[in-house]
């Protein structure tokens, strides 16, 4: 079974190099007949990105069925470049359209973070200006600004980055996003997630669902259902510090305001506000009578459930006790339908 099939429309620079691609209806693990129909547009085998013209789109539309046939027919009227991408297997990408397809598969919730090969992607994602008129090559932005001014307009540049915001490509159902610019394409926002103004979700990261995000979910980090990331808190991503530990937050856990983690948390854990735990942090383990029974490194507590991490107000030592109260998110606050 093939990995993915998608028809897209995107932007190229003056050298006909791809800057970005939008896929309205990508298909994950397409049926064999869909891949077979792609041969009408020149697909042979393996992973390919094939630029399409009106003739190829019409031929493809005749070979396809259902909504993909309708989409191909619709794209015949496109004034922007169009492309067909077929991924036969999950391998490192070889083109910009391939990378954009993989990122959108994640944001469409068709693939979870760490569920698809994103290696080598940075070299294939051009750094572009994301503007009120779409993606523009940095070498061409000055001319575009001049042209806009000559027409009595102002070309607004929202960011200069390799990644656009997710909502320009995918708007998942059942979520609230207060500031769309803080959620990158390739984020996975589970059903019921609320992302407040200071919340952030990077690519290849996200939430399983019904989570409150007021902190930072870094690349590679997944947050379990029912968990709360307090204002200004941080999760150490897989791109940080050269580490290869996959950081996650279990279900019904809380990372307090301005706190942070560099270890994976288990279910029903709490990290008190202002406390940052790295893998090497020395932690005192307390018994029911609050006596220190052992001192361990935080990495030894990775993925263990029902823990409360706090700092002793007198000695300043980081301590860990059994978490007797699991958090419960406000059901009305998270009714995002």
Residues serving a catalytic function are 214
SS3 of the chain: helix, strand, coil, percent, to 5: 20, 30, 50
Distance from C-alpha of 39 to C-alpha of 172, rounded to nearest angstrom: 31
CA of 113: how far to CAs of 103, 108, 158, 231, in Å? 9, 11, 26, 23
Calculate Rg over the CA atoms of the chain: 23
Distance from C-alpha of 146 to C-alpha of 155, rounded to nearest angstrom: 9
Contacts of 235 (CB under 8 A, 6+ apart): 215, 216, 217, 218, 221, 223, 229, 247, 249, 255, 260, 261
Distance from C-alpha of 122 to C-alpha of 158, rounded to nearest angstrom: 20
């Amino acid at each position: 079974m093939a990995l993915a099939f998608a028809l897209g429309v995107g932007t190229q620079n003056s050298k006909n190099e791809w800057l970005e691609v939008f896929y309205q209806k990508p298909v994950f693990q397409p049926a064999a007949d869909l891949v077979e129909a792609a041969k009408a547009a020149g697909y042979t085998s393996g992973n390919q990105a094939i630029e399409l013209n009106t003739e190829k789109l019409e031929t493809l539309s005749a070979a396809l069925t259902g909504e993909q046939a309708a989409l191909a027919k619709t794209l015949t009227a496109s004034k922007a470049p169009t492309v067909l991408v077929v991924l036969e297997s999950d391998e490192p990408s070889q083109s910009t359209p391939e990378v954009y397809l993989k990122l959108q598969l994640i944001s469409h919730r068709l693939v979870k973070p760490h569920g698809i090969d994103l290696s080598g992607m940075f070299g294939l994602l051009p750094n572009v200006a994301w503007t009120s008129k779409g993606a523009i090559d940095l070498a061409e932005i000055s001319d575009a600004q001049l042209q806009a001014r000559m027409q009595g307009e102002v070309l607004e540049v929202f960011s200069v980055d390799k990644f656009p915001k997710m909502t320009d490509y995918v708007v998942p159902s059942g979520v609230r996003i207060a500031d769309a610019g803080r959620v990158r394409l390739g984020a996975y926002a589970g059903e019921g997630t609320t992302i407040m103004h200071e919340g952030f979700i990077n690519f290849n990261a996200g939430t399983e669902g019904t989570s409150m995000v007021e902190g930072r979910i870094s690349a590679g980090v997944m947050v379990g259902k029912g968990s709360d990331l307090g204002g200004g808190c941080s999760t150490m991503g897989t791109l940080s510090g050269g580490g290869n530990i996959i950081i996650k937050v279990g279900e019904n856990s809380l990372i307090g305001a301005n706190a942070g983690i560099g270890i994976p948390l288990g279910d029903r854990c709490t990290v008190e506000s202002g406390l940052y735990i790295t893998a090497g942090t020395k932690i005192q383990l307390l018994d029911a009578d609050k006596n220190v029974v052992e001192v361990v490194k935080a990495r030894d507590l990775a993925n263990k459930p029902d823990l409360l991490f706090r700092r002793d107000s007198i000695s300043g030592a980081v301590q860990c006790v059994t978490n007797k109260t699991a958090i419960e998110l406000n059901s009305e606050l998270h009714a995002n339908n």
